[in-house]
Every structure is written in C-alpha cells, then in structure tokens.
Amino acid sequence: MPVRFSITRKCPQTSARIGMLETAHGTILTPAFLPVGTQGTVKAITVGELEDMGTGLILSNCYHLFLRPGIEIIARHGGLHRFMNWNGAILTDSGGFQIFSLGGLRRLDDEGVTFTSHFDGATHFLTPERVTRLQNMLGSDIAMVLDQCPPYPAERKEVRSAVVRTTKWARRCKEAHLHDNQALYAIVQGGVYADLRRESAVELTEMDFDGYAIGGLSVGEPKELMYESLQITVPLLPNDKIHYLMGVGSPDALLKGVRLGIDIFDCVLPTRIARNGRVMTSKGYLPIRNSVYSTDLSPLDEECSCPVCSNYSRAYIRHLLNTGEILGLRLTTQHNLYYLDRLMKEIRKAISENRFEEYYREVSPQLTKMYGGVA
C-alpha cells in the first residue's frame, strides 16, 4: 500500500495540525518525533522497547548503511526492517548531509558526488539515481532525495548553487524511484536566504513529491534565524503534504516547529545527550552525573511515569553512568525518548482539543527557558 498522509484537524489560530501517516508498517499520528537509528539501531535501545513506547517511525541513514554493512546484505535479509527486526515504519535519509559534512568530499558536480569513506578511506561515487535505488533496496517506508546541504555560514553563491543542484537531483531521484510502498520526500534548501528558500520550495512543489522536508537548518545558525526561515518556507510547501523538519529535537524547537506547521522531526539530541549523562525532565536538563545526585532517591523526573522513572532512582542511574555501566546508557536513553514522546502526545492532544494556542502560550516560554539555549 502506498504511504498516505492526511490532516485530521487544523489549529484555527496557528499553522499547527494533527495528522495521520499511514504506511505498510503501521500508522503514525503527527506531529511526531522520530528517534534516530543511524546504523540500523536506535543506540542502546531494542526495537521491543521502541514498540512498548509507542514509537511508530524511526530514522535510519542510507549513507551509513551503504558504508557499513553495505546495502546488499541488508537487501538479502529482505530489507532493513528484517535486518533490524523492526516492524514499525522507517524513514531513510539519503546521506546528503553526511556526505557534505563528514569530510572526504573529493568531487562534486551535477553528475554526482565522489567521496572517501570516513571509516576506511575507500572511494565511492554516488548519484541521485544510485541513492534512490539503494533506498529502494532497503525497503524503507519513506526515502529522501539526495540533496546538497551547505554548511552554516555559507556564502549566498554557494547556497544558491546548492539549491539549483538539489532541484536537479530531486528530479532525477523522482524519475529513478520505483517502489509502490515507499514514499519519496523532497528536501528544501536555501539556507537562511528567504528568496532562495522560496526558489527551492516552488521548484520542488512543482514536481509533486509525496512529502517535503526542510533541510539545512539547525546546522549552527542562531535559533531565531531558524524560526525565521521556517516561517518563510513552510507556507510555500503544499499544505496537504507532510512537512518534515530535519535535525531538530530540542523541546522548545519542537513546539515552535509544530506551531509553524511542521508534522515530523528527527534528531540525535535525546539519545546522544542521554549517553552523555544529560537527562530531559519537566524542570529542564538534569546533569545526572553530578555528585549532588549521589544520594538522591527520587526518579529522574517526578512527573514522568516511564519504566525508568517508575523503577530506578537518580542515585542508581548516576552510579551506573559514573562506573561506565551500559545499563546507565540504556536507562537515560529510554527516559529521554519517553520524555519527547510524552511532549508530542501533549501537543497532539492540545491540537485535537482545539486549545493549542492556549497550550503554546503556557508551555512555550517554559520550554524556551529550560531548553532554549544551543540545541
């Protein structure tokens, strides 16, 4: 069955909306946050734990899997779902961001990109067609076009060149795409330049993709600039198609993004900071490794009812992290994902009950205060 996105309710005062994303691997309620499973696993977590949490959609990365273990062996398992034993939905990123940010870029032109693997130095050549075919082989529910993602800051000239190339490549991805059950989403570029964002959005909208992502944000630019770019870009996307903000996961940014019309987000933030001992709570970040928690019998977050907070104390989790115990990484990761999942649930509930604007006015200042620093 083809992937289908539909809007179930719109906020009358803002651009927020709730929707349903139907895939061959289940239905996801939006707005939703996608845990990141770059290498075919959401770090430290089992697929069973994701399922128990109610996660419906995760992100994995075609570029990384292409390098290790290779797409061929995954295809021989019957695709990425079977490889990783995950029965929910998967969105694969093409790797555009990684190719351009992880170094090793050798040659770049309209034909494709030649780069060296940051693992073993081997040289690879990827084209929009190849990246599309590789994602077909992975069998993810949603594939992304190969895009050119410029860094921040970048000269306008470079950003425009990336917009032009991204449009050309998007067209070629669409032509190469052959998979009934897999959607293909385009990625709007343009940096922080309003007119370039407009150019990219208009050109990609004309090609009638299944969904639209906004790339090239949360790459080091000030948050205000990101929100400005969103405010310009989202209205230019087809309203009835899904809107995906890539690489954003800070709670304050999630809420602001929803208000501006974003349906799905992905980010390594909750899982990465968890492994570094930074826990998300109803009172902001908790640096759990700090000695002040060594005798704290309370849960990570008093307002959280996740399995971690229901069963373990701060003192225990701190002990685990400070003694290098793997269980510590599992527990903090699990909690942070539950935290974001609960946030998204609350957001959906507010929209569904026609009180999103009220919810936003109450909660956004708190989240901005607690999380509004650098993402």
What would the two tokens of residue 23 be? 């895939």
Active site residue 240: no
| Of 152 and 316, CB closest to a second copy | 316
Q: Does 272 bind a second copy (CB under 8 A)?
A: no
85 to 124: interface string for a second copy, x by CB under 8 A: x---------------------------------------
Residue 207: CA count within 13 A, CB half-sphere: 24
Active site residue 266: yes
User: Which residue among 284, 316, 345, 357 contacts a second copy (CB under 8 A)?
Assistant: 316
CB of 263 to a second copy, least distance (A): 28
Closest CA to 11 of 224, 261, 316: 261
The DSSP code for 39 is T
Range list of H helices, the chain: 47-53, 62-67, 71-76, 80-84, 96-101, 128-138, 156-176, 194-206, 223-233, 251-259, 269-275, 307-311, 314-322, 326-352, 356-371
Which of these segments, 25-33, 182-190, 314-322, 335-343, binds a second copy (CB under 8 A)?
314-322
Neighbour-count burial of 353, counting CB atoms closer than 10 A to its CB (0-12 exposed, 13-18 middle, 19+ buried): exposed
Q: Does 326 bind a second copy (CB under 8 A)?
A: yes
Which of these segments, 96-104, 188-196, 253-261, 316-324, binds a second copy (CB under 8 A)?
316-324
Q: Does 127 bind a second copy (CB under 8 A)?
A: no
Q: Does 297 bind a second copy (CB under 8 A)?
A: yes
Which of these segments, 158-166, 167-175, 190-198, 312-320, binds a second copy (CB under 8 A)?
312-320
Q: Does 45 bind a second copy (CB under 8 A)?
A: yes
Amino acid letter, residue 204? L
CB of 114 to a second copy, least distance (A): 23
Q: Which of 59-98 are b and which e, b meaning 16 or more Cβ less than 10 Å from the residue's Cβ?
A: bbbbbbbbbeeebeebbeeebbbebbebebbbbbbbbbbb
Residue 115 CA to residue 107 CA, distance in Å, equals 7
Residue 266, number of CB atoms within 10 A of its CB: 23
| Of 64 and 256, CB closest to a second copy | 64
CB of 85 to a second copy, least distance (A): 5
Q: What is the largest CA-CA distance in the chain?
A: 60
Residue from 147, 210, 263, 266 carrying the catalytic annotation: 266
> What positions carry a catalytic annotation?
93, 266
Query: What are the residues binding a second copy (CB under 8 A)?
Result: 39-41, 43-46, 68-69, 73, 76-77, 83-85, 294-295, 297, 311-313, 315-316, 318-320, 322-323, 325-327, 329-330
